[in-house]
């Protein structure tokens, strides 16, 4: 089946600066795909090219089987929600939501009905006569979203729409947007630099670095099975060790990482004996024990305990290694200077080729 949205070898340059580099990205109809990456990685430029506010230097953009890179933005039938909401301050909530319908020549009666339905959907009908300055940040965000949905767009594009909200409201709106996407079956392209936001909301995540896709995968795949060093370090936190493959047998690779320490990792892709490799272990996968357990066991000394509310961020010093473990408060943790064993199973260790280059995604 042909993809609903397809960036086909798209490049965007500003003079000698290449912002997007040969992007091959495919999105299915009804998917929620987040473009995640640091500032300057090209994700907003990609959104602007899809919306028609920027044009690619090379390549093609397809929407439902039609090339659109030269189609004017107002003919693409896409709803756009920006970080600053871009609401008209002199208009009421109802007038703001009705604006795209008025611009499309929808009759007054029909527009009124559609605005009412849309405001009911986001529980804002009782505020229809207020102006943006009389609304909270979360209410303004919902008005901007409603305005982007009221004309029944083909695709909804969101550029850091929750960035101005406080943490509690931001997390609440993440769940609201996720539920709205599932209810309406929308195709959503969502730009963010917030890893937690992308993991919470997305069907798939495209992790960008220097204008290229490092990995396109489900949230679980991105977090549990990073394919590059950049993804492993950018998504959450990880313990990353450089090593050399010593032995491969029965779906397990043995990797020498430091001062005689050998860790075992479940193989997700073929590796060669003698090849350099990176071993990645998430801090919450490390289990501190007073005695050596099964699986991988590294003798450590507790160098610091940092209180984080629901857990302790425990810094550990091993033989030529520095590790971090996230330890639940109910688990006894030794005092600074005490010795323990950091244990983890081979299935909790991911191997990454150190020279893995970013590539295309579909």
CA dihedral 248, 252, 257, 258 (to 10 degrees): -100
β-bridge partners, 287: 343
β-bridge partners, 207: 36, 215
pLDDT value of residue 331: 65
Domain ranges of the chain: 5-231, 239-352
Indicate the range of 5-19, 112-126, 197-211 predicted with least confidence.
112-126
The CATH number fitting domain 5-231, selected from 3.40.50.300, 3.10.105.10, 3.30.460.10, 1.10.3210.10: 3.40.50.300
Report if pTM > 0.75. Answer: yes
Q: Which residue has the higher pLDDT, 28 or 288?
A: 28
Residues 55, 45 contacting (CB under 8 angstroms): no
Confidence of residue 293 (pLDDT cuts 50, 70, 90): confident
Structure tokens at 3: 């993809």
**% of residues, the chain, pLDDT over 90:** 67
Across the range 324-348, mean pLDDT stands at 86
Q: What does the mean pLDDT of the chain come to?
A: 90
93-103 vs 108-121: helix crossing angle, rounded to 10: 130
- CATH 3.90.1150.10: does it fit domain 239-352? no
306, with CB counted inside 10 A (0-12, 13-18, 19+), is exposed
- Please determine, for residue 316, whether its predicted confidence score (pLDDT) is greater than 90: yes
- Please determine, for residue 277, whether its predicted confidence score (pLDDT) is greater than 70: yes
Confidence of residue 174 (pLDDT cuts 50, 70, 90): confident
Confidence of residue 171 (pLDDT cuts 50, 70, 90): confident
- Please determine, for residue 356, whether its predicted confidence score (pLDDT) is greater than 60: no
């Amino acid at each position: 089946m042909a993809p609903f949205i397809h960036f086909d070898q798209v490049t965007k340059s500003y003079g000698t600066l290449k912002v997007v580099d040969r992007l091959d990205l495919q999105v299915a109809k009804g998917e929620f795909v987040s473009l995640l990456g640091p500032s300057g990685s090209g994700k907003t430029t990609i959104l602007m090219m899809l919306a028609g506010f920027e044009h690619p230097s090379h390549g093609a953009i397809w929407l439902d089987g039609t090339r659109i890179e030269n189609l004017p933005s107002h003919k693409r039938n896409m709803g756009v929600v920006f970080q600053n909401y871009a609401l008209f301050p002199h208009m009421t909530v109802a007038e703001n939501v009705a604006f795209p319908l008025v611009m499309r020549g929808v009759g007054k009666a029909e527009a009124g009905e559609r605005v009412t339905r849309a405001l009911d959907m986001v529980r804002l009908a009782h505020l229809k006569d207020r102006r943006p300055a009389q609304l909270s940040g979360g209410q303004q965000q919902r008005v901007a979203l409603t305005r982007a949905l009221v004309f029944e767009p083909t695709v909804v594009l969101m550029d850091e729409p929750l960035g101005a909200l406080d943490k509690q409201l931001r997390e609440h709106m993440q769940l609201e947007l996720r539920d709205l996407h599932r209810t309406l079956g929308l195709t959503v392209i969502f730009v963010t630099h917030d890893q937690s936001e992308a993991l919470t909301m997305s069907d798939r995540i495209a992790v960008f670095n220097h204008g290229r896709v490092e990995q396109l995968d489900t949230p679980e795949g991105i977090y549990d099975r990073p394919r590059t060093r950049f993804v492993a370090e950018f998504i959450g936190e990880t313990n990353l060790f450089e090593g050399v493959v010593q032995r491969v047998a029965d779906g397990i690779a043995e990797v020498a990482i430091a001062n005689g320490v050998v860790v075992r990792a479940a193989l997700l892709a073929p590796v060669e004996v003698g090849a350099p490799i990176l071993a990645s272990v998430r801090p919450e996968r490390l289990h501190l024990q007073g005695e050596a357990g099964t699986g991988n066991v590294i003798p450590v000394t507790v160098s610091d305990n940092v209180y984080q509310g629901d857990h302790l961020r425990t810094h550990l010093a091993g033989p030529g290694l520095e590790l971090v473990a996230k330890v639940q408060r109910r688990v006894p943790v030794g005092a600074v200077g005490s010795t323990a064993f950091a244990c983890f199973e081979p299935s909790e260790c991911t191997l990454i080729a150190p020279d893995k280059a970013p590539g295309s995604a579909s």
